[in-house]
Structure 1
Amino acid sequence: MIRSNAAVTQVPADFANPVAALAGRTAVRALYAELALHPKPGLVSPFDSGSHDDMDMGTFLRSLFALRGYFRAIAAAGAEGADFAVLRDLGIAGERRMLAATGGINTHRGAVFGIGFLAAAAGWRMRRGRTLRGTALGGTVGDLWGADILAAAPQAPVSHGARAVQRYGARGARQEAADGFPTLFTLALPALDRALADGADPERALVQTLFTLMAELEDTNLLHRGGSAGLTFVQGEARRFLDRGGVFQAGWRAEALALHRACVARRLSPGGSADMLAAAHFVHALREGWA
């Protein structure tokens, strides 16, 4: 299992702040785990910038530092039963802090949105003593804020992901959240749990989960960078990797690195899969850290 180092074993009478602290720490650790992972085709890691000319690991670390308070704040707001408008405003403020820290570079917009709502749902459920197991967190997002997520006007300027949704008819982050994050709970988390149960260490389990997502997700970042051909290429290569045994095959690292080089050559980056991987780490670790 991938454990958070912030287990809560007793619940004090006023526990909104401890709940928020746990969720906030777990979110930042999940994003750091995704950043530190290698190999990740086309993505920024400690070893290189992947397909990105405008960011590196240092850019991501500055972003993470700027977002620490945001994840705690949105979890606390969720614990208090905040409505969509409050969560939206916290997200906008968090994104502004991210952009100020990175010089205008989008490092974690997807996580500000996705993990932000999951953290709010975790705060709401933990405050009320409810389980985090199964699809509970996603269901809470959909039930409490799903309709407002879909009804909200897109922010300006429109993101690359939103343009890909409009152009290619892909399923975007807003629909995913409003529906309770089905890809996260029916694909990513089962893949992570299965890899760990089959004996993979945390690094290999996360790589296996990433490739599972790359093989199936309509990644709007890939569509933005490479169109339908780019998405099809990455999905096909990821499926072949998995069909040959994934991280349980001999030489898996060399094969994953070969795809990394191919993605860099094509300027492809599966950022949507990376966001979903971080969300899976967050939910998995939060479940383990909350008794």
Structure 2
Amino acid sequence: MPATRTGQPSRDADAPLRRVAEALAGQAHGALLAELHTWPKPGLVSPVDSGSHHDMDCATFEASAASLHGYFFDIAMAGARDKDMRELRLLGMAAERAMMAATGGVNTHRGAIFGMGLLCAAAGYRAATGEPGTLGQLVARRWGRDIAGGPRPADSNGMSVQRRYGAGGARAEAATGFPSVYRIALPAMRRARIWRPGDAQAPAVQALFALIARVQDTNLLHRGGPEGMNWARDSARGFLARGGVRRAAWRHDAAAVHRRFVARGLSPGGCADLLAMALFLRDLEAHA
């Protein structure tokens, strides 16, 4: 960093990276809102209803997303400065406190703080270093070992489910470069854009159902055990087998699945986090 006449480092050298981080923060915040406003979503909160949740609604999620804008900027800058996982984890813990303050103690975006935060860090790292690869690959290369071996919060539902059922959860997904986002969600979005050009909702709904059909969602395991998760998977596979968003009546079909999820109290929150990350990456990665 060049020095000023006073001998102090000039902050101008950071200006391009700050602009990148601001853009990334805006895109991450926008992706959270795009996921929230996707409809129909089985069991999940949307502007239409609260799904299978009784302690949160659309306004809760909007307040939560707004509270995370600064975090996404900070973690993108941390990635640009090549900070280690310990530093990124501290930023994530501060973001969780901000989220809880904004929502009155309701956990709305813990998974997104982890996953989307890492993608923002990787995007900042790529902007600063020019290192090639997808953001998922950069997360795995730069922080994957520390993610896999890092401290595990004993109070989270995800960790309880992982211990009970052996599910990999968000930690395994991140440590391996978010394969479910790249191999399931983004391809589903691409197909749906071909089938439904100009429809902003169809690609996100198709991607969400594709994720539910194949991902071992720890939120579904927490709420319904293996039986509930398998039922959810079968329901999503049925929607896809009937044509998914290719069908003229796809919204009616997806809404009917949503009502069945609500009746069983099931909510695929992990898949919702992956959908938000896919929406973020769709706008950043050229191949997406």
TM-score by length of 2: 0.91
1:65-144 superposed matches below 5 A: 65-131=66-132, 136-144=134-142
Q: Tell me what 1:168 maps to.
A: 165
Partner of 2:55: 54
1:192-211 counterparts in 2 under 5 A?
Answer: 192-200=189-197, 201-211=199-209
Letter in 2 for 1:41: P
| 1:242 counterpart letter in structure 2 | L
Q: Which one-letter code corresponds to 1:168 in the other structure?
A: Y
Q: Deviations over 1:51-102 (max 9, x none)?
A: 0000001111111111110011101110111111110100000011001111
Tell me how large the CA RMSD over aligned residues is.
1.4
Letter in 1 for 2:118: F
Choose between structure 1 and 2 for higher RCO, CA contacts under 8 A separated by at least 6 residues. Answer: 1
Structure 2 spans left out of the alignment, 5+ residues = 1-12
Match of 2:262 among 252, 261, 264: 264
Distance of 1:171 and 1:188 partners within structure 2? 18
Question: How many Å apart are 1:130 and its aligned residue?
Answer: 4.5
Q: Tell me if structure 2 keeps the 8 A contact 1:23–1:286.
A: no
Aligned pairs, number: 273
3-state DSSP class of the match of 2:54?
coil
CA contact (8 A) 2:154 2:160 kept: no
Normalised TM-score (structure 1): 0.91
Matched, 1:239 2:254: no
Question: How much has 1:146 moved relative to structure 2?
Answer: 0.9
C-alpha separation between the residues in 1 aligned to 2:182 and 2:268? 19
Which residue pairs with 2:252 in the alignment?
254
Letter in 2 for 1:174: R
Identity percentage of aligned residues: 52
C-alpha displacement at 1:156, in angstroms?
4.4
Preserved contact between residue 54 and residue 105 of structure 1 (Cα < 8 Å): yes
Question: How far apart are residue 287 of structure 1 and its match?
Answer: 2.7
The one-letter code matched in structure 1 to 2:80 is A
1:30 maps to amino acid? A
Q: Which residue of 2 aligns with 1:9?
A: none
Quick check: 104-113 or 187-196, which moved more? 187-196
User: SS of 1:202's equivalent?
Assistant: coil
Judge conservation of contact 2:186–2:278 (CA < 8 Å) in 1. yes
Shift of 1:197: 3.1
CA distance in 1: counterparts of 2:195 and 2:248, whole angstroms: 15
